[in-house]
């Protein structure tokens, strides 16, 4: 079967004309300054590392909310320009945890489905680098099977009271808001009905956050308990009961960007530098294979992003891209281990630090944002194979 008959949606609308080289040069200059100022520490951080200072520096440069309307603090630039900036910052291993989720998916979600009051309250703060948002989807007994969540919102005067637990919420301890998927009606025949998304202000009473330590010893992940926490009516996204559709829309943004390809890019760049301009045959073959996969996956990611920007459906493409991208990210530390005689060490040289960070982070690449098995199930369904 030809590629086109399998994936009729692959061809994206043509890309815009922008001066890509000039933009990349501008971002690289920004990265060099941020590295000199100690805001970026190569090999020692990941893109989920929280740094308010770095996010404010990004905002001052116009790198947050790049495509959003100016009236919300955005910059009305083209989605491809945003893609280029994201690539450069990810490749540099910049710590974007204070704004990444808000810029990638929560802001766009509020822009598309938020009330006017919520948009005015939240979007300018995100664009200024002053607002962190968490993803409140997973629960202790509901990860892959997201529709089985039990957190619930009861209607009260002026809004809702939310009760329940969320888990694995990245950077929740710093979050100003968490977009929580909750039940607004009991589970019935249709398991996807009766779900809604609420933008929960994390400073409300009745919310406790407990950090969870990961393999790297970092405490980026958290458990949140909501005990009748109040959420204003204006913080409902879309209509009550729209939650399942909205969550899936959001996940297409979460599963198709350069952050699903470039988590170990810093290590790959260091590896290429370490083997030098005359690598032996094994190194040339291994690195060549990685480079080819990087290029092909990036082309798919770009095509999806153009489709998302044009409001077109992406079907199986986003889960496919995340599966391919995270496999690549996981293979980079394996190849580095095979080619170089290095001892991974978070306190060693830059490359030893990058290797340690990539090895310890790699198992999570194919869990966060949906596991490999779940993505492959969605791909099979989209292709009509199950
Ligand atoms: C670093 C990191 C950051 C995260 N950040 C967030 C966040 O900010 N917000 C948030 O809401 N969540 C977050 N998550 C949670 C993540 O989305 C879940 O871990 C993921 O969806 C899997 O859910 P689970 O952990 O409950 O595993 P389970 O759903 O219990 O799955 C366990 C295993 O069983 C497999 N499995 C389950 N069902 C099936 C099936 N039907 N067919 C085949 N295999 C199956 C899975 O693939 C997996 O291997 C994060 C996770 C990680 C690792």
Residue 148 has pLDDT above 60, yes or no: yes
Confidence band, pLDDT 50/70/90 cuts, at residue 3: very low
Q: What SS3 class is residue 287?
A: helix
How far apart are the C-alpha atoms of 143 and 153, rounded to whole Å?
19
Confidence band, pLDDT 50/70/90 cuts, at residue 308: confident
Which residues, 6 or more positions from 51, have their beta carbon under 8 angstroms from its beta carbon?
39, 95, 96, 97, 98
Provide mean pLDDT across the span 301-307: 89
Which residues, 6 or more positions from 239, have their beta carbon under 8 angstroms from its beta carbon?
none
Which of 361, 366, 358, 360 is closest to 271 using CA atoms?
Answer: 358
Question: Which residue has its alpha carbon closest to ligand 1 atom 16?
Answer: 368
Residue 10 has pLDDT above 90, yes or no: no
Q: How many angstroms separate the alpha carbon of residue 213 from the centre of ligand 1?
A: 17
User: pLDDT digit string (tens) for 314-345?
Assistant: 889 999 999 999 999 999 999 999 999 999 99
Average pLDDT, the chain: 93
Q: How many angstroms separate the alpha carbon of residue 362 from the centre of ligand 1?
A: 15
Confidence band, pLDDT 50/70/90 cuts, at residue 252: confident
How far apart are the C-alpha atoms of 308 and 321, rounded to whole Å?
14
Locate the ligand 1 atom nearest the alpha carbon of residue 374 and give its number. Answer: 47
Question: Which residue has its alpha carbon closest to ligand 1 atom 48?
Answer: 371
Q: What does the pLDDT read at residue 86?
A: 97
Provide mean pLDDT across the span 74-83: 94
Provide mean pLDDT across the span 338-361: 93
Q: What does the pLDDT read at residue 312?
A: 86
Return the best residue to mutate from 164, 368, 372 for the ligand 1 pocket (most ligand atoms within 8 A of CB).
368
367 lines ligand 1 (CB under 6 A): yes
Provide mean pLDDT across the span 131-138: 98
Q: What does the pLDDT read at residue 11?
A: 54
Enumerate the β-bridge partners of residue 152: 163, 183
Helix residue spans in the chain (DSSP H): 3-6, 20-36, 52-60, 79-91, 100-101, 107-113, 116-127, 243-254, 265-275, 281-309, 317-339, 350-365, 372-382
Return the best residue to mutate from 143, 167, 169, 219 for the ligand 1 pocket (most ligand atoms within 8 A of CB).
143
Confidence band, pLDDT 50/70/90 cuts, at residue 87: very high
Q: How many angstroms separate the alpha carbon of residue 21 from the centre of ligand 1?
A: 38
138 lines ligand 1 (CB under 6 A): yes
143 lines ligand 1 (CB under 6 A): yes
Q: What does the pLDDT read at residue 165?
A: 98
16-25, 134-143, 154-163, 208-217 — which is least confidently predicted? Answer: 16-25
Confidence band, pLDDT 50/70/90 cuts, at residue 15: low
Q: What does the pLDDT read at residue 1?
A: 34
Q: How many angstroms separate the alpha carbon of residue 313 from the centre of ligand 1?
A: 24
- Kindly list the structural domains of the chain, giving each domain's residue range(s) and its CATH number in brackets, ordered by start: 3-131 (1.10.540.10), 135-242 (2.40.110.10), 255-382 (1.20.140.10)
How far apart are the C-alpha atoms of 116 and 292, rounded to whole Å?
45
DSSP secondary structure, 177-207, as one string: EEEEEEESS---SSTTTTEEEEEEETTSTTE
Q: What percent of the chain has pLDDT over 90?
A: 86
How far apart are the C-alpha atoms of 328 and 290, rounded to whole Å?
7
Q: What does the pLDDT read at residue 309?
A: 83
Q: How many angstroms separate the alpha carbon of residue 106 from the centre of ligand 1?
A: 20
29 lines ligand 1 (CB under 6 A): no
Locate the ligand 1 atom nearest the alpha carbon of residue 144 and give its number. Answer: 29
339 lines ligand 1 (CB under 6 A): no
Provide mean pLDDT across the span 52-75: 98
Locate the ligand 1 atom nearest the alpha carbon of residue 364 and give its number. Answer: 53
Provide mean pLDDT across the span 40-45: 89
135 lines ligand 1 (CB under 6 A): yes
Question: Which residue has its alpha carbon closest to ligand 1 atom 37?
Answer: 144
Residue whose structure tokens are 């890019």: 265
Give the chain's end-to-end CA distance (angstroms, integer).
18
Residue 167 has pLDDT above 50, yes or no: yes
Q: What does the pLDDT read at residue 307?
A: 87
Provide mean pLDDT across the span 112-123: 98
């Amino acid at each position: 079967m030809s590629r086109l008959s399998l994936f009729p949606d692959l061809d994206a609308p043509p890309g815009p004309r922008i001066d890509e080289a000039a933009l990349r040069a501008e971002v690289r200059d920004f990265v060099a300054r941020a590295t000199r100022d100690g805001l970026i520490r190569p090999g020692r951080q990941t893109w989920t590392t929280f740094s308010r200072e770095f996010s404010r520096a990004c905002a001052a440069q116009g790198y947050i909310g790049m495509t959003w309307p100016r009236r919300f603090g955005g910059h009305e630039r083209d989605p491809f320009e945003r893609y280029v900036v994201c690539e450069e910052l990810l490749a540099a291993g910049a710590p974007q945890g204070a704004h990444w989720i808000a810029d990638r998916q929560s802001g766009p979600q509020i822009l598309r489905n938020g009330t006017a009051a919520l948009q005015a309250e939240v979007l300018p703060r995100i664009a200024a680098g002053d607002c962190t948002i968490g993803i409140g989807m997973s629960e202790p007994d509901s990860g892959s099977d997201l529709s089985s969540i039990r957190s619930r919102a009861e209607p009260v005067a002026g809004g809702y009271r939310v009760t329940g637990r969320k888990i694995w919420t990245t950077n929740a301890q710093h979050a100003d808001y968490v977009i929580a998927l909750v039940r607004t009606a009991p589970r019935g025949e249709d398991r996807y009905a009766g779900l809604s998304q609420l933008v929960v202000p994390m400073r409300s009473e009745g919310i406790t956050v407990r950090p969870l330590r990961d393999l790297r010893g970092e405490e980026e992940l958290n458990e949140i308990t909501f005990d009748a926490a109040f959420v204003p009516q204006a913080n409902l996204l879309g209509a009550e009961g729209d939650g399942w559709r909205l969550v899936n829309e959001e996940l297409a943004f979460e599963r198709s960007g350069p952050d699903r390809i470039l988590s170990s890019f810093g290590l790959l760049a260091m590896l290429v530098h370490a083997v030098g301009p005359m690598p032996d045959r094994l190194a040339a073959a291994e690195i060549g294979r990685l480079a080819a996969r990087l290029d092909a996956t990036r082309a798919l990611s770009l095509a999806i992003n153009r489709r998302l920007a044009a409001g077109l459906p992406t079907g199986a493409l986003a889960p496919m891209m995340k599966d391919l991208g995270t496999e690549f990210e996981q293979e980079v530390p394996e190849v580095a281990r095979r080619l170089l005689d290095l001892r991974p060490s978070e306190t060693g040289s830059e490359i030893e630090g990058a290797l340690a960070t990539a090895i310890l982070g790699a198992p999570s690449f194919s869990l966060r944002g949906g596991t490999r098995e779940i993505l492959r199930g969605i791909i099979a369904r989209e292709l009509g194979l199950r």
